[in-house]
Structure 1
């Protein structure tokens, strides 16, 4: 795609976001977007295929914008504080961009975007550090689901409430419930039983090279079963 086409595509996306922000999803018609972008309606179809294609591009832009604003510390001094901070950033983005966030997260197909997957990789990195330090209480995949679900639920619930019923304690309580569900107050690897140690070793497994691929798969399965039993 040429630079000029890229610029036109970006102009259309920004016009669609402006309409979405001011008037909600119903305001984002191909005719209205074309007019706001200074184009004829057929240009929208050439660039995006149809309205759904345009909305997918808007959602992708939202995920990319959120990802660009995240600051990732590869070695945070306090992994649990880092988890809280990451959750807060996600929620703050949703509260600052309600119409865009709702578009991004109310349809499952939106979360198939490349930018969303990259953001999930950032989250999985946070979770892997928790597991490697022995802080994780649940399986890594379940931890990711809990973190993502509580942040999304917090934003969408907050936005659904009338202004006079929006209590900041809702956000704090959901965040702390998430932290309590996925982490321990002290490293789980120090707890009695093998579950915490299994999670920590499983997190570190990809970094070692002494085992063959088959041996790594077998050990990973054993560690998963031990962690789940905990």
Structure 2
């Protein structure tokens, strides 16, 4: 078998496993069925993947490739919080469209184990929360903010997959609750009141227009940083301040 033929066989085995998983989301699949679909013997499958888990890991990698290719097609709004909203919705949409992939990517839990491919979307999420922190938009550490978003996003998506029913109202409600929690919106202080206006503007850029919304957010951010009772030392010490990672 040439190297090119080997690569083609490996790809066909992954595709066959992915098809079986897509046909019966959440259910186990047979390696024999995978081999029969491709027309190879079991030793060939073990040659490429070593074990059933090796094949599953390759299918998970394929799922993340598909997920990230869809996300990369999205245009950034230029606002990290708005991009968190868009990313949340894209995550749910992908899960509902590809429940077989999704349940392998996020639904199969082994204590102490996280697929290496999970780090790629997590890195993108972390970059968004870091940008939000740099703009003074977060009330928590950016890493904690990313963890809040990802864990609830997965939970909402898995719930809809389990029920086999989309629930956009639930998803939007939980999404906005998480955004409010990580940005500190609605807590009642003057500082938080300014932050709430910032996030309200960011959530509805169509009202003022994208450029005007970005300008308003920058003005409000400066106002918040210069508000009485928030001196430079406080700002630097805050996880949402300029010194945040």
Name the TM-score, length of structure 1 as normaliser. Answer: 0.77
Following superposition, the deviation at residue 196 of structure 1 comes to 7.5
Query: Do the aligned partners of 1:135 and 1:189 also contact (CA within 8 Å) in 2?
Result: no
Deviation string, structure 1 residues 97-120 (Cα, Å, up to 9, x no partner): 01110111123457331x321221
Q: Which residue of structure 2 lines up, in the alignment, with residue 213 of structure 1?
A: none
Q: Distance in 2 between matches of 1:59 and 1:154?
A: 20
State the SS of the aligned residue for 1:52.
helix
Query: Do the aligned partners of 1:132 and 1:200 also contact (CA within 8 Å) in 2?
Result: yes
Following superposition, the deviation at residue 197 of structure 1 comes to 6.5
Structure 1 spans left out of the alignment, 5+ residues: 206-230
Q: 1:63 to 1:28 in 2, by over 3 A?
A: same
Q: Which residue of structure 2 lines up, in the alignment, with residue 200 of structure 1?
A: 241
- Within the candidate set 133, 152, 162, 1:150 is matched to 152
Deviation string, structure 1 residues 49-80 (Cα, Å, up to 9, x no partner): 11111111111111121112213889743222
Query: Do the aligned partners of 2:95 and 2:161 also contact (CA within 8 Å) in 1?
Result: no
Q: Distance in 1 between matches of 2:168 and 2:79?
A: 24
Structure 2 spans left out of the alignment, 5+ residues: 186-195, 199-220
Following superposition, the deviation at residue 123 of structure 1 comes to 0.8
Q: Distance in 2 between matches of 1:22 and 1:74?
A: 31
Q: How many residues end up aligned between the 2 structures?
A: 201
Query: Do the aligned partners of 2:81 and 2:128 also contact (CA within 8 Å) in 1?
Result: no
Counterparts in 2 of 1:76-95, with a 5 A limit?
A: 76-95=77-96
Q: CA RMSD in A?
A: 2.6
Following superposition, the deviation at residue 155 of structure 1 comes to 0.7
State the SS of the aligned residue for 2:72.
coil
Following superposition, the deviation at residue 200 of structure 1 comes to 2.8
Q: Which residue of structure 2 lines up, in the alignment, with residue 111 of structure 1?
A: 114
Q: Which residue of structure 1 lines up, in the alignment, with residue 202 of structure 2?
A: none
Counterparts in 2 of 1:204-219, with a 5 A limit?
A: none
Deviation string, structure 1 residues 154-200 (Cα, Å, up to 9, x no partner): 1111112254xx53211111111111111242346466542586333
Counterparts in 2 of 1:1-230, with a 5 A limit?
A: 2-71=3-72, 76-108=77-109, 111-113=114-116, 115-161=117-163, 163=165, 166-183=166-183, 184=185, 185=196, 186=198, 187=221, 189=225, 192-193=229-230, 194=234, 198=238, 199-203=240-244
